[in-house]
Chains A and B, each alone.
Chain A
Amino acid sequence: MPRPGFVLEVDRSTPPTLFWHGERFRLEKLPVGSRVVYAPEPEKALDDPRAAIRHALHNPQGESEPLPALLRPGMKLTIAFDDVSLPLPPMQRPDIRQMVIEEVLDLAAAAGVDDVQLIAALALHRRMHDFELRHALGDRVYDAFAPTGLLTQHDAEDPDGMLHIGLTDKGEDVEINKRAATSDLIVYVNINLVAMDGGHKSVATGLAAYKSLRHHHNVKTMQHSRSFMDQHKSELHSSNWRMGRVLAASGVKVFQIETTLNNDTFPDQFGFLQKREWEWTARDRAAFVTVSKTLARTPARLARSIFHGIKAPHAMTSVQAGEVEAVHRITTENVYRQQLVAVEGQTDVLTMGLPYISPYNVNSVMNPILVMCLGLGYFFNLYKGRPLVREGGVLILSHPTPWEFHPVHHPSYIDFFEEVLADTTDPVEIEKTYEERFATDPWYIHLYRTSHAYHGVHPFYMWYWGAHALQHLGAVIVVGGDPKSVRRLGFKPASTLRDALEMAEDVVGRDPSITHIHTPPLLMADVT
């Protein structure tokens, strides 16, 4: 039985706490009385994931027939799957997508379905590299579909490849991938790493165009999602659910397959990252020292490539299939079971160490905008109930925040950082003044469609992701970050955690309550 999450109160005997710091670590001595929130231990994996998948496909949730009953000769079948942004880090082979899609294809073949296409549902993310597709789908699927052009990647800017389905009752455009929309059945294969993933968001976002996405990927939606990890309090989800229902009403049929993972995030040699510091064995301490000393002597670029080579031993804890909303209800419960940690009361100062990876820099560079997004967008929003940090409180991040960008993956990020953030960091102003120009820039569209670039509007979404935190917080301080980058983000740089805590006192007063969220592995605070 895995142990649940835990909130430690730091006392004099507490060993230093591990902070992620990009491709490095920091051991920090938190003040006595601080709290540290630890994730639950990894849930037990399914004994036979393939059998569980087969069971789910034959025993659907909600108003859905079993998958074999939905398959027939002559039909048009589209299998859409989550892109490279999931899971984090990428998982060891076989990837969940491979296992699920192989089972679906076996059933399709048995039913005589011969019009099958696979689509990477990447919305406005970058196109996946071939090696990433091969990793996600496995050799058998990749070799069967890629050479014949039946493995495609969603292109939200293909004028002939999108179909406008209609409007929601709030006037939101619903426009999705034409191949998927005109299929007799869409099978969507999800990996639900966090509670935000899945549900109607899969098709309504993953296969959508800017025209649709702008209705929920905007500042207002983000500022009214408390948090976007809690579907019932998330405007982001409300909009996606409205769109999903329009799709269903128009006859677009979706068979949803959702999977959950345990938070077994790092392989053995990094096992200390999964443990609570006072439980480190001599071997863990030796591993930490070895890894830290090696990284200290390793050039940043090499360290990055070492970390991006890590494949997580994530294992499947559940799989459910069938009607979208019924499936997602179970999935969400399973995600919460793995990640929720009860935390009593908010804190004045929240600290977090940011790792080397976010959903948008897999095999890439964690640029400053992604640092902001990971800290203020993702980790800040890993709450249910109330934010872990009180309104007007201080968020302290630890990350080197280098002024560095991947020129192929993030070209519009560079311009966003250089031009937009130099002018203003106010999300409302940014949206009003700059979004449309970037979103419709033909060069960015060209790079998104033909290269491996995130869409021109994507850095805006990253900034909006943090809009709720920006509105809520009194200050953001970055420990050990490049001062120039940190200031460009509108935050304050500090060289040490002690300096940062002193700076925080200027905002929240003396002797503040301090809470450290010890992640990854991922956790979600259920704040009462």
Chain B
Amino acid sequence: MKALVYERSVPKYAAAKLAALWSSATAARVGPLHLADIDEPQLPGEGWRRVRPRLAGICGSDLATIDGTSSRYFEPIVSFPFVPGHEVVGELDDGTRVVVEPVLKCATRGTACAQCSAGRTNLCERIAFGHLSPGLQTGFCADTGGGWGTTLVAHDSQLHRVPDDLSDEAAVMVEPTACAVHAARFVTTDDVAVIGAGTLGLCTVAALRGRRVVVAAKHPEQRAFARELGARVVAPGELDRAVRTATSSFVAGGQLTGGVPTVVDCVGSEASLAQALNIVAPGGTIVLVGMPGRLTVDLTSLWHREVGLVGAYAYTADDFGTAFDLVRSARLDRLVSALYPLERFREAVDHAAAAGSRGAVKIAFDLRKEKRR
């Protein structure tokens, strides 16, 4: 089958990391990702099915992997070679359209852990164990394949049937929306700032509808979407300024003396976390949704102002259910800006890496016309 394959190769990681300084397309050209003809993944056991991806999104974590900038933390919980792609709408052999919930939790591995038993499958303690190779999600596991190939395998517990009235474009937005829905569960205050206005940021704005959301969006298209999705204040420039004016805060150094009680960081960079610390109110909470790596950030204000920092990773099955509703009601299919065939993966990756400045939000692969062999 045709697939984009990511191999373990230290020299290629290094080359990708260097090339990423120039462009993501260059990183994709010299890095460990390549288009190949490989064997279809085998069904690991009972309850597993073949899924033929129709659309598969490109996510920020995928870009970090391609650029070689993701954390080494992941090394023991992924297995090589793998086919990336975890934002997937596909179809089963009988033609049923499904969205894949990619977390490879105990139900997929024949294991059992306390977190999964409690329904917190995103926090599964066995993601490197059981009868599957290590892999925190479909798209990072050597045994399952991923959305960037013409076939993957998924367990029944991972499959969510797509209603007939939902387009593929809407369905491919369910997975990132589920992340946003999950993050929104950490927000208990009316006032909240969202850092980032890419896919995750905009979905989070949508998930926080009804609250007073401040978000900064650099590009006009992002600003328009943020407004339409319910943000109260959409700042074109610096979020710090927007939060200061929205909260009438004072400023000491670069630090707001007040701020918003909750900040959702949908970027996960040093700059975004530092910004979150600048704008969060004393006693407030920063919810880290964007995938971070190894960051150097001054945490003095976190200590001094008794700020909580909490991660929000992935989702549970419940979050997926809510995400379907949100995608439909907020018409999040409109965030899908461009589709590429697998052959043009370098262009696709480059477009995704520069989506905002090119007036785009979500870039995805279109596998509906790909031959299976």
Contacts and interface: CB of A to CB of B under 8 A. Distances in A.
B249 interface: yes
A301 interface: no
A329 B13 CA distance: 81
Contacts of A442: 248, 250
Nearest to B258: A443
Given A437-B245, A443-B244, A418 B251 contact: no
Contacts of A446: 250
B298 interface: no
A422 interface: yes
B241 A415 contact: yes
A323 B11 CA distance: 87
Given A418-B235, A418-B236, A419-B235, A443 B241 contact: no
A252 interface: no
Interface in B213-256: 223, 233, 235-238, 241-242, 244-245, 248-251
Contacts of B223: 422
A418 B248 contact: no
Contact of B248 (A414, A422, A441): A441
Interface in B52-106: none
Interface in A438-462: 438, 440-443, 446
A415 B238 CA distance: 9
Interface residues of B, number: 14
Contacts of B245: 415, 419, 437-438, 441
B255 to A, nearest CB: 13
A419 B248 contact: no
B236 A443 contact: no
Contacts of B233: 419
Most buried by B among A414, A440, A441: A441
A45 B40 CA distance: 96
B253 to A, nearest CB: 13
A437 B251 CA distance: 17
A443 B237 contact: no
A414 B241 contact: yes
A446 to B, nearest CB: 7
A460 to B, nearest CB: 13
A443 B246 CA distance: 11
B200 to A, nearest CB: 23
Nearest to A443: B250
B250 A418 contact: no
Nearest to A441: B248
Nearest to B256: A443
The secondary structure that dominates the B interface is mixed
A414 B244 CA distance: 12
A422 B238 CA distance: 13
Nearest to A456: B245
A352 to B, nearest CB: 29
- In the complex, which range does the number of interface residues on chain A fall in? 10 to 19
Contact of A443 (B235, B238, B242, B248): B248
B45 to A, nearest CB: 55
Nearest to A437: B245
A415 B249 CA distance: 13
Most buried by B among A414, A415, A443: A443
Nearest to B236: A422
Contacts of B248: 437, 440-443
Contacts of B242: 418-419
A442 B247 CA distance: 10
Most buried by A among B223, B241, B248: B248
Contacts of A437: 245, 248
B249 A418 contact: no
Contacts of A422: 223, 235-236
Contact of B237 (A418, A438, A440, A441): A418
B238 A418 contact: yes
Contacts of A414: 241
A331 B173 CA distance: 70
Nearest to A442: B248
Contacts of A415: 241, 244-245
A441 B236 CA distance: 20
Nearest to B216: A418
A291 B223 CA distance: 44
Interface string A418-447: 110010000000000000011011110010
Contacts of B250: 442-443, 446
B241 A418 contact: yes
Contacts of A438: 245
A418 B241 CA distance: 9
A440 B245 CA distance: 11
Contacts of B237: 418
A231 B251 CA distance: 42
A440 B238 CA distance: 21
Contacts of A419: 233, 235-236, 241-242, 245
Contacts of A418: 235-238, 241-242
B219 to A, nearest CB: 12
Interface string B245-285: 10011110000000000000000000000000000000000
B106 to A, nearest CB: 48
A448 to B, nearest CB: 13
A414 B237 CA distance: 10
A441 B244 CA distance: 10
Nearest to B251: A443
Nearest to A416: B245
A436 to B, nearest CB: 12
Interface string B186-227: 000000000000000000000000000000000000010000
Contacts of B235: 418-419, 422
Nearest to B237: A418
A380 B244 CA distance: 35
A418 to B, nearest CB: 4
Nearest to B242: A419
Contacts of A441: 245, 248
Nearest to A412: B245
A438 B242 CA distance: 12
Interface string B114-131: 000000000000000000
Nearest to A422: B236
Interface string B123-152: 000000000000000000000000000000
Nearest to B238: A418
Nearest to B250: A443
A459 to B, nearest CB: 12
A445 to B, nearest CB: 10
Contacts of A443: 244, 248-251
Contacts of A440: 248
Nearest to A418: B237
A438 B241 CA distance: 13
B235 to A, nearest CB: 6
Most buried by B among A419, A438, A446: A419
A35 B250 CA distance: 52
A446 B249 CA distance: 11
B212 to A, nearest CB: 14
B248 to A, nearest CB: 5
A418 B251 CA distance: 18
A418 B246 CA distance: 13
Contacts of B236: 418-419, 422
A157 to B, nearest CB: 14
Contacts of B251: 443
A158 B237 CA distance: 32
A302 to B, nearest CB: 27
8 contacts: A414-B241, A415-B241, A415-B244, A418-B241, A419-B236, A438-B245, A440-B248, A442-B250
Given A418-B238, A441-B245, 20 more contacts: A414-B241, A415-B241, A415-B244, A418-B235, A418-B236, A418-B237, A418-B241, A418-B242, A419-B241, A419-B242, A419-B245, A422-B235, A437-B245, A437-B248, A438-B245, A440-B248, A441-B248, A443-B244, A443-B250, A443-B251
Interface of B: 223, 233, 235-238, 241-242, 244-245, 248-251
In the A-B complex, list the 5 residue pairs whose CB atoms are closest, starting with the nearest. A422-B236, A418-B237, A443-B250, A441-B248, A415-B245
